[in-house]
Copies of this chain bind each other. A is one copy, B any other.
Amino acid sequence: MERRIEVGVLGATGMVGQHFVKFLQNHPWFDLTWLGASDRSAGKKYREATSWRLDGAMPATVADIVVSDSKPGAAPKLLFSAMDALVATEIERAFAEAGHVIVSNSKNHRMEPDVPLLIPEVNPEHLKLIPLQKRRGWKGFIATNPNCSTVVLAMGLAPLKRFGITRVIATTMQAISGAGYPGVASMDITANVIPFIGGEEEKMQQETQKILGDFLDGRVEPLAARVSAHCNRVPVVDGHMVATSVELSAKPTEADILAAFENYRGLPQERNLPSAPARPVVYMKEPDRPQPRRDAERERGMTVFVGRLRACPALDWKFMALGHNTVRGAAGAAVLNAELMVSEGLLSA
């Protein structure tokens, strides 16, 4: 990769935008040179437009960038979207129409039939949906990454897809950082559990079926599995846990499943993409792992850790999965998506 690629972030001043800004620091391929936000911020320096909420200081390389408004024009071709769902639909479409490549973390386009809902290790063939977007009259296109809890479940299940997944029950224990800032009130979550996250269960159920579906005859056929999610907020800072029971038609043994976890690799590992972890899924043998505070940050937050594989008396097998919700579940996911698309030549056109 000799030529560096300029990139921008839409929704750069918000919490997810800040995660993008941080994750893109020192990226070997991408130079973050453009920051888009609402009219209210446009024209100000990023340091003035932004209440920096992440640990450590705002990166010096972006502090003096003047924020642009969210309209196509001077922006780089490759844009990461961290926009709020309330506004993302129209703006992402406007940029795609104008020829930009939108790699979006927003939920808005995830379930549209011609938009890839991409995990590079899991379903790179879903990129074949992209040409379909030309039918919309767009010069560019949109690709999306999953919801932050979906990605943990989908990556934990992906190595088992070969065994025929027919039924899944997943109960999450999700970190407060998943709700942004100010997000969850401390009066609600201190020493407490909130057994509800609006829209989250539906997202986990539908997105998982699409992600694990096959590209066939010009479309993605969702996985024909019954997927049920119970979503809960717990007082943890980073890292979503997903207690998972799964029914597998091939009736694999414990050794089969452990080997599937152990050997799971994808294109990002083959191609050694910059943000790819050495292994997308790592099985921990300790009986009480993974744990969010101790494990979510490992491997730069890009690995999903699984553990506690054991027989499930109600379905077939059960296990715990953990992933870093603001990295593998948001900014890191989108950047890896972009790296895969670059490696596929999708930005050269």
Structural contact, B183 and A313, CB atoms closer than 8 A? no
Which residue on B lies nearest to A53, using beta carbons? B187
Q: Is A173 at the interface (CB under 8 A from chain B)?
A: yes
CA distance A320 to B245 in the complex (A): 17
Asked if A318 and B53 make an inter-chain contact with CB atoms under 8 angstroms apart, the answer reads no
Do A169 and B312 touch across chains, with their CB atoms under 8 A apart?
A: yes
Contact with B along A314-345 (1 / 0, CB 8 A): 11001010000000000000000000000000
Whether a CB of chain B sits under 8 angstroms from the CB of A234 is: yes
A195 interfacial by beta-carbon distance below 8 Å: yes
Interface residue A205 (Cβ < 8 Å from any Cβ of B): yes
Q: A41 on the interface (CB 8 Å rule)?
A: no
Q: Which residues of B contact A142 (CB under 8 A)?
A: none
* A residues 236-261 touching B (CB-CB < 8 Å): 236-237, 241, 243, 245
Chain B proximity of A242: nearest CB distance (Å)? 10
**Residues of chain B with a CB closer than 8 A to A288's CB:** 194-196
B196 touches A173 (CB 8 A): no
Expressed in whole angstroms, the Cα–Cα distance for A192 and B55 within the complex equals 12
How far apart are the CA atoms of A297 and B241 in the complex, in Å? 24
Q: Which of B195, B226, B230, B308 contacts A196 (CB 8 A)?
A: B308
Number of interface residues of A (CB under 8 A): 58
Cβ-defined contact, B315 with A169, below 8 A = yes
Contacts of A293 in B (CB 8 A): 55, 190-192, 237
**B195:A289 contact, CB within 8 angstroms:** yes
- A314 neighbours in B (Cβ, 8 Å): 167-169, 226-228, 315
Distance in Å: Cβ of A130 to nearest Cβ of chain B: 30
Contacts of A192 in B (CB 8 A): 236, 291-294
**A65 adjacent to chain B (CB < 8 Å):** no
Residues of B within 8 A of A313 (CB): 205, 226-228
Which A residues fall within an 8 A CB radius of B? 53, 55-56, 167-169, 171, 173, 176-177, 181-196, 205, 226-228, 230, 232, 234-237, 241, 243, 245, 287-295, 297-298, 307-308, 312-315, 318, 320
